[in-house]
Chains A and B, each alone.
Chain A
Amino acid sequence: MPGKRFTESSAERDPALVVVGASAGGLHALQVMVSGLPADWDTAMAVVQHRSRDSYALCELLQDVTQLRVCEVEDKQEITAGSVYLAPPDYHLFVEDQHFSLSIDAPVRWSRPSIDVLFESAADAYGDRTVGVVLTGANSDGTRGLRRIVDAGGQAVIQDPATAEVRVMPESARRAVSEACVLPLDAISGHLRQLRGRNRVPCARAGE
């Protein structure tokens, strides 16, 4: 089923791309977040979950909790609204203009896929129409990328470390991105649903 293409006119007002990073504890956090998204969501989401090459079927486990289309990215796959795209294991995921590309360049901070790689390329391609979300995890991947998204005018959401299975990743992001909204896990999808255009939705900021 073809989704709505991202054209300049439709993306003018809505966030174009939500990019999400998770590591240890990510499966549960992603299930909670994705299950709260509306079936008719008109935005796209790209996810890097640190995964080993022999990882479980993340796609099926997330598809179970949502009617949005969940799939692993194939090279040059188009970005369409209402889809949740997963970085495949052992590839980096890049955002091009209207589609994704993959690479097998060296791991970044020992990770491939790398959250920073996704976030930085999203910031470059979508600028202030990017929303970055950092969830639970055991290293600081995603911190630099989230900073870059905000510097490009985009928005940032961090899972409240108190609700995270492993606090390290969201703590690291919170220290570097004071502009980010820090939210309990079960409030993140509600926040994403409210995002429209470049208006900021009130929330507890990391810097406060």
Chain B
Amino acid sequence: MPKYAMVIDLQSCVGCGACSIACRNENNVQEGIYWSSKITETSGTFPNVRFHYLPTLCNHCSNPPCARGCPTNAMHKLDNGITMHDPDKCIGCRYCMYNCPYEVIYFNWQNPHKFWKDAKPVIEGGTISPKEMAQNINNGNGTPYSNPARGKTLPENRPKGVVEKCTFCDHRIKDGKIPYCVVACPADARIFGDLDKPDSKVSRLLGKFKPYRLKERLGTQPNVYYIRSYNPARYERTKGGI
């Protein structure tokens, strides 16, 4: 069985956020939820400052605290290593969110895509209302730009009262395609593959470059690895001094 993982090359990543936008589009993610997110950090004091951009997503941990804590096994591991969620079993207790150290699970606090249910036009007498547009294009099913392919393994728009998170685009993996964030990255900074294959790109990269993972000391065994780092700064050759 495959063991899917992702390697993110921080040297290539420019922090454009295309991965996050593509993910929202592919998975019909509603406002306030961020399956693909980021951590940014500015450190140091001027003029010796640096900036880090770290793209984040569900780490699909091999020892997932979310799945361990879910009372109904709604959050469970698939055979291919993906941590998957089943909204039909979810009671909305948010214990998975409590257990996740990476804060990558989100709860649907209200009905999805509230904007597209608004019957008030943006300009009275000038524009169409969001509700009418959604009705005309997609029969009122979420957004006008909803992706029906997502409906293969999860509801196209998850209802109020259940949690959701990144699924490594399992609906695309079923068709032999890689996750959409990986496709969308203009710098090819995200590499997806099977860790159980020694000649897969991810296995090779993890051999070539020393990886690190988020919060490794907690023992969750995440499967999203970060390699290299980006810093264009240079300094004149020096041996320091006393």
Co-assembled chains A and B:
no
